[in-house]
Amino acid sequence: MNQKEMYIKVINPTTLRGWKVRVKVEEKHNIKSFKQSPTKLQSLILTDSKGSQTQASIWGKDIGRLDNRLKENKEYYISNAIIKAIPPQYQYLGHPYDWRISASTVIEECPMDDQNTITTTYEFTPFSDFSKYLGKGIAISKNDKLYILN
């Protein structure tokens, strides 16, 4: 089946199979363990060529299978990840869906001569403006830790 290349913002849980998105791995977080469960999680942030971002996650045994496949600052075509809604209190990119990457997700590295087409865009907030965001549940990521301004 020919896959139509799409963008992060149009992929949702009702999107039919056959989609493909070119993304850059912006961040690849350390593997997290949970006290009450043997399950492990690795989170990623993916960006497309329009600057849209989504949270992505790799769970359990898939972490070992995929750990060396996805590298920070590299571009890939990803297709057929499982798309799940993120509860609002865990959304920190403004995009309501998480891409669950598993062994059945198709991941193709973009050729080296075709890398660096997705640029990173930063939006900075002056420190003096932080008080405006208190109580709004804004997330700040620093040194692989997530802080919520409440």
Q: Which two tokens stand for residue 25?
A: 């791995």
**pLDDT at residue 1, as a whole number:** 44
Q: Does residue 90 fall inside a structural domain?
A: yes
**pLDDT at residue 2, as a whole number:** 53
**pLDDT at residue 79, as a whole number:** 92
What's the CATH number where 21 sits? 2.40.50.140
Residues 93, 45: contact at Cβ < 8 Å?
Answer: yes
Query: Range of 94's domain?
Result: 4-113
Task: Count structural domains, the chain.
Answer: 1
How confident is the chain (150 residues) per 10-residue block, as mean pLDDT?
75 88 93 89 93 93 90 92 90 89 93 70 74 65 57
Q: Does residue 8 fall inside a structural domain?
A: yes
Q: Does residue 133 fall inside a structural domain?
A: no
Q: Does residue 137 fall inside a structural domain?
A: no
**pLDDT at residue 38, as a whole number:** 86
**pLDDT at residue 141, as a whole number:** 60
Q: Does residue 22 fall inside a structural domain?
A: yes
